[in-house]
Amino acid sequence: MDVSIIAIGDELLIGQVIDTNSGDIARHIAPYGWRVNDVQVVGDNADEILRAIDRAFESSDVVLTTGGLGPTKDDITKGTLCRYFGGELRHDPSVLENVKVVVAKRGLRLNNLTAAQAIVPTSCRVIQNRVGTAPLMWFERDGRVLVSMPGVPFETRTMFREEVMPMLLEKFASDVAIGHRTVIVTDWSESQLAMHLSDWEDALPPYLHLAYLPKPGLIRLRLDGQHSDGAFIESELTKYHDQLLSLVGNTLICDGDKTMAEVLLDHLRRLGLTIATAESCTGGNIAHLITSIPGASESFMGSVVAYSNDVKERVLSVDGTTLAEHGAVSIPVVEQMTRGAIARIGADCAIATSGIAGPGGAVPGKPVGTVCIAITTPTGTVSDTFHFPGSRDRVIDRASTVALILAIKQLRKM
Amino acid sequence: MDVSIIAIGDELLIGQVIDTNSGDIARHIAPYGWRVNDVQVVGDNADEILRAIDRAFESSDVVLTTGGLGPTKDDITKGTLCRYFGGELRHDPSVLENVKVVVAKRGLRLNNLTAAQAIVPTSCRVIQNRVGTAPLMWFERDGRVLVSMPGVPFETRTMFREEVMPMLLEKFASDVAIGHRTVIVTDWSESQLAMHLSDWEDALPPYLHLAYLPKPGLIRLRLDGQHSDGAFIESELTKYHDQLLSLVGNTLICDGDKTMAEVLLDHLRRLGLTIATAESCTGGNIAHLITSIPGASESFMGSVVAYSNDVKERVLSVDGTTLAEHGAVSIPVVEQMTRGAIARIGADCAIATSGIAGPGGAVPGKPVGTVCIAITTPTGTVSDTFHFPGSRDRVIDRASTVALILAIKQLRKM
């Protein structure tokens, strides 16, 4: 089943808000064999919305809109939907009741603008929004469906997963089985890997497709299958997935679709080990990536973000002479930082970073992007110096990913 | 000038990659009076791309495409552009020279797939990609322009700002002046604020428009102006911006468009103070948000991420009796954490968080989403307990923002 998405809101077109809803919907519908055919991002403008709906129904029987439903004046979606599907805008007491409950839960008072959210087109079936005040609206015409959902990611995510998708699955039964296998590899450029897999990829049967999804430091390979026979496509995916695993060999960093922080935590749990981080240039980002994973507290003990030499010395026990001789961005310093973190935080392993994220801070011989990373585990310490291109954000992002990959490489040997 | 964007790539439609390029382009062109009229996200499919180009030229004279240019087989954009604009695909020696330079800079060897990037349509003018291997392509027809750019955000961002936009500005001179003013306020729900501003907003002249951009814990208000007379619109924006400032009063958290971490650092610099963080449930995210800002090292000293009670006691000197009596998620504990961070890290101020980010970890009386936050500055300590709805990510995100806002509120009084 093909789905078209229309993301509505001036804030999306001026770049003040990024549309994360479409990706979230896409990830959720994939296991059901559904796919997003296209996404259109349009402003709060009736003509643009109408044109987008026409276009969406050209390619899909299911159209999902997100956004354009807030209580303030820059939202005009509801009137436009009424114009498209007919009927009139009318007050719906059941929506007002629901809005009252949601507003009360938030400890707020109902005001006129929030109450106005109870005005809905008579041509729609209302889906009460349990986690926000804007009602969801289900429209049908000629067997095709448009569902209007709010733009707040948490509301869209909750309501789409728990209410809208089950209703869509009930209405449209899928006749094609779909499946995926994802493996994540490291130590390749995209083109090197593509050359390596070229013969195998050319010989893939027509119902299988390989996609390359490169990220800094790693490449996700996704094998997609689509066939009328669900059992057949599953067994084919298993067979070709096994072949792919043997082709990538020990460049495999994860068999499945996980973040590097998840893979790290898996290894720590398997080994019964704990970890800490000692971060200078990554500024707490590695700790943040690890603690974003539910259950991280089982293996992650804590972190010292040592942004000054003084903190490196006093809290992480880095030797003042080493700092003076080699500079803060040096292999001896990051190695000492791992040992200091292990002692101070109380953990079995540690990751340490020190580098120049930019735009300022470069010193002779150490340009912006220079990052030293060390990993200490019960089997010893490894360290290396890297040069990452790009902006401050990119250097931080990349250094964090590479540090996690280095730690995973050490742990998977154990 | 209206611009239409086409973001190309199956990875965008399955939600494995989020399109951040369109927002970045939108933010960059706004000050020139240019705007993104619509964004279409399509897969690596020739028919979809052709249809998207037709649609884009319906509404805009400038069409920018991103993505679909990698060296691997799931990219078909180049052939499709050749089909649309005519000519044939031919090897361009100047592109190969550039690819060789870029590949050498990365310390990699040129392989056949990377070399294939030198095949370009004869109907385009090539813009050499200084930061990647995929060449940019400038097509013209009937005075309208399509520029094909790579999908890697760093490459798109660099090349669009430094090469493409200057070329576009040279070709198309703008005749309408545009301007913005952004203010950020806190302590309002969107609808409460809209009611408060209702009369003023209704009386705005037709060339001014107010947009509400709510984020957890704060609302951005953007006043947009558009007029043929640039000096006039600037003076009008200044006048109405002043009115808006007096209407929002002391709920103003920032006069301008900045992140909360930037606002915090501004206040610290103004006061000549330094700060540290002591993070439990936010897991280093506050430190990460602060250190993402260039120049943070001037005011940010470091952080202790204390994910276990043991680290809270040993590194942050939280009293064991207090932990036992009140629990880790309590006001006395976060207050002690701020003082421990100030002493251990060596800073004038500290932010501390302790809470239950979920999905596990709830205890009687403290459901998932309960977060205690304390701020200590030279003028004293403030603290509060919050209940944030939603998923783990959302609780972490929201607690981090609220902690930054609380710290800003304390500092702006000084």
Calculated CA dihedral for residues A64, A69, A75, A81, nearest 10 degrees: 50
Per-residue HEC secondary structure of B152-170 comes to CHHHHHHHHHHHHHHHHHH
pLDDT confidence of residue A75: 65
| B1 vs B63: CA distance, rounded Å | 11
- Say if the Cβ atoms of A14 and B30 lie within 8 Å: yes
Q: Over chain B, what is the mean pLDDT?
A: 92
Q: B311 CA to chain A: closest CA distance, Å?
A: 6
What would the pLDDT profile of A194-250 be if each residue is shown by its tens digit?
A: 999 999 999 999 999 998 888 878 999 999 898 888 899 999 999 999 999 999 999
What would the pLDDT profile of A289-309 be if each residue is shown by its tens digit?
A: 999 999 999 999 999 999 999
Q: Is the pLDDT of residue B371 over 80?
A: yes
- Picking from B390, B314, B388, the residue whose alpha carbon sits closest to that of residue B353 is B388
Radius of gyration (Cα) for chain A, nearest Å?
26
Q: Which of A:22-81 have CB within 8 Å of B? A: 22-27, 30, 35-43, 48, 52, 55, 70-74
What would the pLDDT profile of A86-125 be if each residue is shown by its tens digit?
A: 999 999 999 999 988 888 877 777 787 778 889 999 999 9
Chain A hits for B29, Cβ within 8 Å: none
pLDDT confidence of residue B74: 56
Which positions ≥6 away from B291 have C-beta within 8 Å?
A282, A283, A284, A285, A305, A307, A357, A396, B297, B300
Calculated CA dihedral for residues B354, B358, B361, B364, nearest 10 degrees: 90
Considering chain A, what percentage of its residues have pLDDT values greater than 90? 75
CB-based contact A138:A147 (threshold 8 Å): yes
Query: Is A214 strand, coil or helix?
Result: strand
Helix (H) or strand (E) holding A148: strand A144-149
| Residue, of A387 and A70, whose pLDDT is higher | A387
Q: Which two tokens stand for residue B166?
A: 């200057």
Mean pLDDT score, B346-374: 94
- Picking from B81, B66, B80, the residue whose alpha carbon sits closest to that of residue B134 is B66
- B37, B294, B346 ranked by CB distance to A311: nearest: B346
Check if B343 contacts A (Cβ < 8 Å): no
Burial class (CB in 10 A: 0-12, 13-18, 19+), B322: middle
Which pLDDT band holds residue A73 (cuts at 50, 70, 90)?
Answer: low
Calculated CA dihedral for residues B63, B69, B74, B80, nearest 10 degrees: 50
- Say if the Cβ atoms of B308 and A297 lie within 8 Å: yes
Burial class (CB in 10 A: 0-12, 13-18, 19+), A62: buried
Helix (H) or strand (E) holding A27: helix A21-29
pLDDT confidence of residue B73: 56
- Say if the Cβ atoms of B111 and A191 lie within 8 Å: yes
pLDDT confidence of residue A382: 98
Chain B hits for A307, Cβ within 8 Å: 291, 296-297, 300-303
- Say if the Cβ atoms of A389 and B16 lie within 8 Å: no
pLDDT confidence of residue A74: 56
Q: ipTM value of the model?
A: 0.81
Check if A286 contacts B (Cβ < 8 Å): yes
- Say if the Cβ atoms of B212 and A74 lie within 8 Å: yes
Q: Is the pLDDT of residue A48 over 60?
A: yes
**Cross-strand pairs, A306:** B302
| B76 vs B180: CA distance, rounded Å | 39
Check if A304 contacts B (Cβ < 8 Å): yes
Which pLDDT band holds residue B75 (cuts at 50, 70, 90)?
Answer: low
Chain A hits for B74, Cβ within 8 Å: 209-212
- Say if the Cβ atoms of A114 and B191 lie within 8 Å: yes
Q: B19 CA to chain A: closest CA distance, Å?
A: 8
Name the residue in chain B with its Cα closest to that of A286.
B284
N- to C-terminal Cα distance for chain A? 45
Q: A288 CA to chain B: closest CA distance, Å?
A: 5
Name the residue in chain A with its Cα closest to that of B293.
A392
Q: B100 CA to chain A: closest CA distance, Å?
A: 14
| A225 vs A182: CA distance, rounded Å | 12
pLDDT confidence of residue A376: 98
- Say if the Cβ atoms of B72 and A190 lie within 8 Å: yes
A269-282 exposure pattern, b = at least 16 Cβ within 10 A, e = fewer? eebebbbbbbbbbb
Q: Which two tokens stand for residue B128?
A: 């050499």
pLDDT confidence of residue B76: 86
What would the pLDDT profile of A377-400 be if each residue is shown by its tens digit?
A: 999 999 999 999 888 998 999 999
Q: Is the pLDDT of residue B350 over 60?
A: yes
Check if B128 contacts A (Cβ < 8 Å): no
Q: B40 CA to chain A: closest CA distance, Å?
A: 5
What would the pLDDT profile of B88-104 be if each residue is shown by its tens digit?
A: 999 999 999 998 888 88
Name the residue in chain B with its Cα closest to that of A187.
B108
CB-based contact B332:B309 (threshold 8 Å): no
N- to C-terminal Cα distance for chain B? 45
- B55, B288, B358 ranked by CB distance to A283: nearest: B288
Which pLDDT band holds residue A363 (cuts at 50, 70, 90)?
Answer: confident
Whole-model pTM above 0.90?
A: no
pLDDT confidence of residue A20: 92
| H-only helix segments in B112-259 | 112-115, 153-159, 165-171, 190-202, 230-248
Q: B347 CA to chain A: closest CA distance, Å?
A: 10
Check if A15 contacts B (Cβ < 8 Å): yes
DSSP letters, B307-354, are -SHHHHHHTT---HHHHHHH-SSSHHHHHHHHHHHIIIII-SEEEEEE
| B197 vs B303: CA distance, rounded Å | 40
Q: Over chain A, what is the mean pLDDT?
A: 92
- Say if the Cβ atoms of B23 and A36 lie within 8 Å: no
| Residue, of B358 and B371, whose pLDDT is higher | B371
pLDDT confidence of residue B189: 87
Considering chain A, what percentage of its residues have pLDDT values greater than 70? 98
Chain B hits for A315, Cβ within 8 Å: 302, 304, 315, 344-345
Q: Is the pLDDT of residue B117 over 90?
A: no
Considering chain B, what percentage of its residues have pLDDT values greater than 70? 98
- Say if the Cβ atoms of B310 and A346 lie within 8 Å: yes
Q: Which of B:224-263 have CB within 8 Å of A? A: none
| Residue, of B111 and A4, whose pLDDT is higher | A4
Q: Is the pLDDT of residue A139 over 80?
A: yes
Chain A hits for B27, Cβ within 8 Å: 14-16
| Residue, of A29 and A33, whose pLDDT is higher | A29
- B14, B214, B393 ranked by CB distance to A292: nearest: B393
User: Among the ranges A34-43, A210-219, B187-196, B269-278, which has the highest mean pLDDT value?
Assistant: B269-278
Q: Which parts of A273-379 are beta strand (E)?
A: 275-279, 300-306, 349-355, 370-377
Q: A205 CA to chain B: closest CA distance, Å?
A: 15
- Say if the Cβ atoms of B301 and A286 lie within 8 Å: no
DSSP letters, B268-303, are HHHHT--EEEEESTTTTHHHHHHHTSTTGGGTEEEE
- Say if the Cβ atoms of A358 and B391 lie within 8 Å: no
| B286 vs B355: CA distance, rounded Å | 14
